[in-house]
Structure 1
Amino acid sequence: MADDSVKSEVSAQQQNDNGDDKSSQKTVNSNGEAPTEHQTLSKRQRKKLLKQQKWEEERELRKQRRKERKQQRRMQKLDHQEEEEGDIPSARKRICREVTPSSLRLMVDCSFDNLMQIKDVCKLHKQIQRCYAENRRALHPVQFYLTSLGGQLKQNMDEKDKGWVNWKDITIKTEHYSEVVAKEDLVYLTSDSPNVLEELDQNKAYVIGGLVDHNHHKGVTFERAKELGINHAQLPLSSFVKMNSRKVLAVNHVFEIILAYLEKGSWQEAFFTILPQRKGAVAVNQDGITIQEKEEKDSDSDTDTP
């Protein structure tokens, strides 16, 4: 019995020794070095770490793929638009191709600087800016002139719009318009003139008075034209439009009406395209009767008929 107990103790001791050897083998690698951090991570943690590394490595590839998909969508969109429009180009491209400069000259007379207050000079500056912008994008841009530029107006332009010195397709003069263009080629546009402008002469230079005076200086442009002995005329406004307010229009409105007439070939369309709603413009027929008045007159005659 004693021998059996001794044998069991010896075998137990051998098993313990073998277990220690196996555990020591697990904690020491073949090079006799301690295990790395990755070897101590769990299977899930190692999987997550590898996934993160792969994500970082493929960052540039994903960026390139996004760029390609974006380019592909853009091309598909353009193809779709071409299918819908057929051979018709976009409106912007069509306008660019069909632009035909006009030989007509439009001149803004800036010689009324001493008749305006600074707030009115600022308004005139904005109107001139509008004229320049509209002429740049017109289908038939005119030859645009600013004459007699100086005084408060030039100072205001220098202070609030320094880029005006780089304006293109415009002629800016300090001289009076009568010194820039021959008198026989000039036509002053003024609402006080008894002459009505029926057609535009491409060989003429039409002058617009650069004056914002809120009706304080009535007839001053007409008087200036007569003093210089140059031709004058008013736009055929009364022949096509009846307004609630006075017929005196802002500089940019006159300018834009002429641009619209060159494009549409119709004074009535030009007036109703440009005139602001506050003017209360109503179309009239050849007899000078508004459409509404004609309808009321026809209605009255119908009721009188038995």
Structure 2
Amino acid sequence: MADERVKCEASAQQEKDNDGDESGQKIASGNGEAAAEDQSLSKRQRKKLLKQQKWEEERELRKQRRKDRKQQRRLQRQNHHQEEEDRGEAHSVRKRPRREVTSSSLKLVVDCSFDNLMLIKDVRKLHKQIQRCYAENRRSSHPVQFYLTSLGGQLKQSMDDKDKGWVNWKDINIKTEHYSEVVAKEELVYLTSDSPNVLEELDQKKAYIIGGLVDHNHHKGITFERAKELGIDHAQLPLSSFVKMNSRKVLAVNHVFEIILAYLEKGSWREAFFTVLPQRKGAVAVGQDGATAQEREEEDSDSDSDTPEQTEKRT
């Protein structure tokens, strides 16, 4: 039995040795084939193969170089634009004298308490008008003390959604309270076209209120009624004394605001009106006799067509 076990182990070892020899022969054969294949390539083909390998190895390096060049070009463009802007600013500073700014103690208040009377599209129009008021006051040579009162509801939501930077506005007083809680009652003057009082001069000690309402004439006279209910002064701009218009005398919030800024700068209602009023309003200058230039021309034309007898009767 022992002899048979020894024989079996010897046989198994012989088979393992044979398998090893075959594997070694296969490896040697494979290496030989590769060497033979390499030797079969021409010098030009080997050179091309090496070049391809090098190309693949340097792929990431080329990609990084492209990124670096792109970044460099971007920085060069930015530097070029900045240089142009700096030259332009330097030129404008040399060309224009520094504007003198004289702040006014007069207060202009936009009353935003009509939020529930407007559709959202009109609230957004009011938002744009307020933006215009803010911008014009910032660039004015005679900026006023600007107040927004009763801010909330749809208007505040529109400002939060469309103009998040409004919270950083400068030189403006933004209040959630009603204007009657912010400014002393004796200082208040509500500007409304329905008032029988005509504003001839601006009082620097007063706070003039502009109704923040875009309603397309759905709530006529509401600002006048509010002023009477609170028992505060009210007045209308002297528009009829200087301007004849095709439309109603109701002006947008920013137009009233800009007219007052223009009056503070120019000292003339006539110049202020015609500087600000849009052409679509059909504004025509009114003379001292209350007639427009066109009406006077028509009267002159009628006079020229009179007979000598008619002229003699008038004289």
TM-score (norm 1): 0.70
1:216 to 208, 215, 218: 218
Q: 1:98-136, CA deviations, whole angstroms, 9 ceiling, x for partnerless residues?
A: 110111100000000010011110000000000000000
Task: Report SS of the residue matched to 2:143.
Answer: coil
Letter in 2 for 1:107: V
Task: Report SS of the residue matched to 1:218.
Answer: coil
Q: Matched residues in 1 for 2:195 and 2:232: separation?
A: 12
Alignment of 1:4-83 (within 5 A): none
2:152 to 147, 150, 164: 150
> Which residue of the partner structure matches residue 271 of structure 2?
269
Q: 1:223-250, CA deviations, whole angstroms, 9 ceiling, x for partnerless residues?
A: 0000000000000000000000110000
Uncovered stretches (5+) of structure 2, i.e. residues with no partner: 1-75, 309-315
Alignment of 1:177-216 (within 5 A): 177-216=179-218
Q: 1:45-79, CA deviations, whole angstroms, 9 ceiling, x for partnerless residues?
A: xxxxxxxxxxxxxxxxxx9xxx9xx99xx79x96x
2:95 to 80, 86, 90: 90
Letter in 2 for 1:203: K
Alignment of 1:279-298 (within 5 A): 279-298=281-300
Q: 1:181-237, CA deviations, whole angstroms, 9 ceiling, x for partnerless residues?
A: 111110000000000000000000000000000000000000000000000000000
> Which residue of the partner structure matches residue 230 of structure 2?
228
Matched, 1:238 2:243: no
Letter in 1 for 2:225: E
2:252 to 250, 253, 274: 250
> Which residue of the partner structure matches residue 121 of structure 2?
119
> Which residue of the partner structure matches residue 55 of structure 2?
none
Q: How far did residue 286 of structure 1 move?
A: 2.0
Uncovered stretches (5+) of structure 1, i.e. residues with no partner: 1-62, 83-88
Matched, 1:135 2:137: yes
Q: Matched residues in 1 for 2:98 and 2:293: separation?
A: 35
Q: 1:235-278, CA deviations, whole angstroms, 9 ceiling, x for partnerless residues?
A: 00000000001100000000000001111111111111110110
Q: How far did residue 301 of structure 1 move?
A: 1.6
Q: How far did residue 90 of structure 1 move?
A: 3.3
Q: Matched residues in 1 for 2:305 and 2:104: separation?
A: 52
Segments of 4+ in structure 1 off by > 6 A? none
> Which residue of the partner structure matches residue 302 of structure 2?
300
Q: Matched residues in 2 for 1:196 and 1:299: separation?
A: 34
Task: Report SS of the residue matched to 2:147.
Answer: strand
Q: Matched residues in 1 for 2:113 and 2:215: separation?
A: 13
Task: Report SS of the residue matched to 1:145.
Answer: strand
Q: Matched residues in 2 for 1:178 and 1:167: separation?
A: 23
Q: Matched residues in 2 for 1:305 and 1:234: separation?
A: 45
> Which residue of the partner structure matches residue 108 of structure 2?
106
Task: Report SS of the residue matched to 1:304.
Answer: coil
Letter in 1 for 2:165: G
Task: Report SS of the residue matched to 1:197.
Answer: coil
Q: How far did residue 305 of structure 1 move?
A: 6.0
Compute the RMSD of aligned alpha carbons.
2.2
Letter in 2 for 1:139: S
Q: Matched residues in 1 for 2:154 and 2:121: separation?
A: 10
Q: How far did residue 300 of structure 1 move?
A: 1.9
Q: Matched residues in 2 for 1:272 and 1:188: separation?
A: 23
Task: Report SS of the residue matched to 1:208.
Answer: strand
Q: How far did residue 295 of structure 1 move?
A: 1.7
TM-score (norm 2): 0.68
> Which residue of the partner structure matches residue 312 of structure 2?
none
Count of aligned residue pairs for this structure pair: 225
